[in-house]
C-alpha cells in the first residue's frame, strides 16, 4: 500500500482494509509527506496500533533542501483488533484539519490565498514536527550513523526488529 496525497482519510481507509482482511501479514505501507503538508491522524494510528510496526524516516524534501519531511514505513504484523485505540492528543483533530487546508493551499485549490514560500514551508514543517515530538514520535535520519545502526540491528535480528524497523530481507 502506498499513498502520498489523501491523508485526511487514509488512516480510516487503511482500517477498512484491515477489517476486510485485505492485508496479508508482512504487508508494507509507505507514506510520504507526513510532516509537510502532514498526516497527523495517520501517523498517530500507525505508531499506536499493535498490528503495525512503524518507523519514520527524516529526509530532505525533493528540490527543497531546507525542508525536512518524514516518510512513514510500516509493516503489518498480523491481524489484531485492539479493544480500544488511544485517542490522539488534544489538538490533533484541529492539526489534521489544518494540514489538509495547507495541502489544498499548496495544490492551488485555495485561489484566494497565496502559495507557500519556502520559509513558510520550513516553519510549518517545524510546527507539525513539534506536535509529533511532543507525542513521542521521532524520525530516524535517512542517512548517517543512526540509519546505518538501525539497519544493522534489524539485520542482526537482535529482537528490536518488531518494534523499530521492518525487515525486508535486506
CA distances from 5 to 31, 35, 99, 162 (A): 9, 12, 11, 28
The 10s digit of each residue's pLDDT in 58-106 is 998 888 888 899 999 999 998 887 788 889 999 999 999 888 888 777 7
Confidence category of residue 161, pLDDT binned at 50, 70, 90: very low
- Mean pLDDT score across all residues of the chain: 80
Instruction: Give long-range contacts, CB 8 A cutoff, 24+ apart: 58-61.
Output: 58/139, 58/140, 58/141, 58/142, 59/141, 59/142, 59/143, 61/36, 61/121
For residue 12, what pLDDT band results from cuts at 50, 70 and 90? Answer: confident
Contact 57, 139 (CB under 8 A): yes
This prediction's pTM: 0.76
Q: What is the pLDDT of residues 119-147, one digit of tens each?
A: 888 999 999 999 999 999 999 888 767 66
Residue 40 pLDDT exceeds 90: yes
> What does the pLDDT read at residue 166?
39
**44-59: average pLDDT:** 91
Amino acid at each position: 500500500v502506498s499513498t502520498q496525497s489523501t491523508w485526511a482519510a487514509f488512516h480510516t481507509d487503511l482500517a477498512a482494509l484491515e477489517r476486510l482482511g485485505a492485508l496479508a501479514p508482512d504487508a508494507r505501507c509507505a507514506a510520504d509527506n507526513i510532516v509537510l503538508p502532514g498526516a497527523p491522524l495517520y501517523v498517530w494510528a500507525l505508531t499506536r496500533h499493535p498490528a503495525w510496526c512503524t518507523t519514520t524516516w527524516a529526509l530532505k524534501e525533493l528540490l527543497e533542501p531546507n525542508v525536512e519531511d518524514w516518510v512513514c514505513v510500516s509493516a503489518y504484523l498480523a491481524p489484531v483488533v485492539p479493544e480500544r485505540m488511544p485517542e490522539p492528543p488534544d489538538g490533533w483533530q484541529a492539526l489534521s484539519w489544518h494540514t489538509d487546508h495547507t495541502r489544498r493551499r499548496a495544490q492551488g485549490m485555495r485561489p484566494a490565498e497565496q502559495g507557500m514560500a519556502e520559509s513558510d514551508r520550513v516553519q510549518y514543517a517545524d510546527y507539525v514536527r513539534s506536535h509529533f515530538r511532543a507525542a513521542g514520535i521521532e524520525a530516524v535520519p535517512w542517512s548517517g550513523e543512526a540509519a546505518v545502526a538501525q539497519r544493522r540491528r534489524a539485520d542482526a535480528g537482535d529482537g528490536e526488529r518488531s518494534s523499530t524497523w521492518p525487515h525486508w530481507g535486506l
